[in-house]
């Protein structure tokens, strides 16, 4: 082999090694939110902050709109180590039973209450359970307070949900809650919801404003009932590949995820007002629900959860005790 051939081969090999090294430093952050959603805004702000600190060590790349898969797929990829970060929300209860706490209706009163729950319950008590299942929770963000939309009628009392085909996320307890209210709930990936509502496969769905508006559900839904029935946290979650990252990179990602919590809460509060106004302008009929009636109808769900999930009843009482007087 000639000198030039050897040099060329060495250069190609070096380029290949450089490309491989570059690929290893990409930190893929997958989520299911559409552009402009709270998930999108939160992950993009996190990436901006983290990349400023990471410099040449690594780079966070955000993949929204289920580009890397739906929630179930992202959870599998975290376990396999083929995705570094994801932002699961309701899906956590399908994998780690104690996270079904956040499918309990009217458990979280406001964002200040949720901040106390995060610091005194989620991170010290629930995150270790997630770690045992292979999921490293770095910080707690949010998906938001959930509202009910449908094409049949305004929902004021729980019985108004009778017979309505309602899309829910995957998770036993969200389905059991809506069954208690009389609805016919069915789990479905968020990416499939628009078409299901458009074609009448589903009559309605429940999501925060920050998912309803960016997903354009106002185009295929007539009624929006302000139920605030569940507050859904979102968990900045790392999987199997996290431990393979440089320790300094791990520290930056963890610190930045925690640092971004305040940004997420402030953005979520702003979007609640802005997006409700936009949904009204888009022509949706908005109404309040009888929250006391929904709370009363929810008691059997609490009792079932306390019986089924080890330590669930005690943790519910702990969370209730953290409410402001």
Domains and CATH numbers, the chain: 25-321 (3.40.190.170)
Handedness of CA 266, 267, 272, 276 (dihedral sign): positive
Burial label, 295 (beta-carbon count in 10 A; 0-12, 13-18, 19+): middle
Placement of tokens 């060590």 in the chain: 57
pTM: 0.90
pLDDT band at 2 (very low <50, low <70, confident <90, very high): low
End-to-end CA distance of the chain: 82
pLDDT digits (tens, 9 = 90+) for 48-78: 999 999 999 999 999 999 999 999 999 999 9
pLDDT digits (tens, 9 = 90+) for 171-201: 899 999 999 999 999 999 999 999 999 999 9
What pLDDT is attached to residue 170? 87
pLDDT digits (tens, 9 = 90+) for 92-130: 999 999 999 999 999 999 999 999 999 999 999 999 999
| Measured distance CA(78)–CA(13) in Å, rounded | 31
What pLDDT is attached to residue 144? 96
pLDDT band at 157 (very low <50, low <70, confident <90, very high): very high
């Amino acid at each position: 082999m000639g000198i030039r051939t050897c040099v060329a081969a060495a250069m190609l090999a070096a380029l290949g090694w450089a490309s491989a090294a570059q690929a290893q430093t990409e930190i893929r952050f997958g989520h299911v939110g559409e552009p402009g959603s709270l998930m999108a805004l939160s992950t993009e702000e996190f990436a901006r902050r983290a990349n400023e600190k990471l410099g040449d060590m690594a780079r966070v790349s955000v993949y929204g709109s289920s580009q890397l898969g739906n929630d179930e797929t992202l959870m599998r990829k975290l376990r396999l180590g083929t995705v570094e970060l994801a932002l699961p929300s309701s899906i956590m209860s399908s994998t780690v039973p104690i996270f079904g706490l956040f499918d309990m209706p009217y458990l979280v009163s406001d964002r200040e209450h949720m901040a106390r729950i995060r610091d005194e319950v989620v991170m010290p008590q629930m995150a270790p359970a997630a770690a045992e299942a292979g999921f490293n929770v770095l910080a707690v963000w949010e998906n938001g307070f959930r509202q009910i939309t449908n094409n049949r009628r305004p929902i004021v009392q729980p019985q108004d949900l009778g017979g309505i085909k309602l899309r829910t996320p995957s998770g036993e307890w969200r389905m059991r809650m809506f069954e208690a209210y009389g609805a016919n709930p069915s789990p479905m990936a968020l990416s499939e919801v628009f078409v299901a509502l458009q074609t009448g496969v589903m009559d309605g769905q429940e999501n925060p404003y920050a998912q309803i508006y960016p997903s354009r559900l106002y185009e295929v839904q007539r009624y929006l009932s302000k139920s605030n029935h569940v507050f859904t946290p979102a968990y900045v979650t790392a999987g199997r590949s996290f431990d393979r990252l440089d320790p300094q990179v791990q520290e930056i990602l963890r610190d930045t995820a925690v640092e971004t919590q305040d940004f997420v809460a402030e953005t979520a509060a702003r979007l609640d007002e802005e997006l409700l106004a936009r949904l009204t302008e888009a022509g949706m009929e908005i109404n309040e629900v009888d929250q006391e009636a929904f709370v009363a109808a929810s008691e059997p769900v609490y009792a079932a959860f306390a019986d089924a999930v080890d330590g669930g009843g005690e943790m519910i009482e702990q969370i209730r005790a953290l409410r402001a007087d």
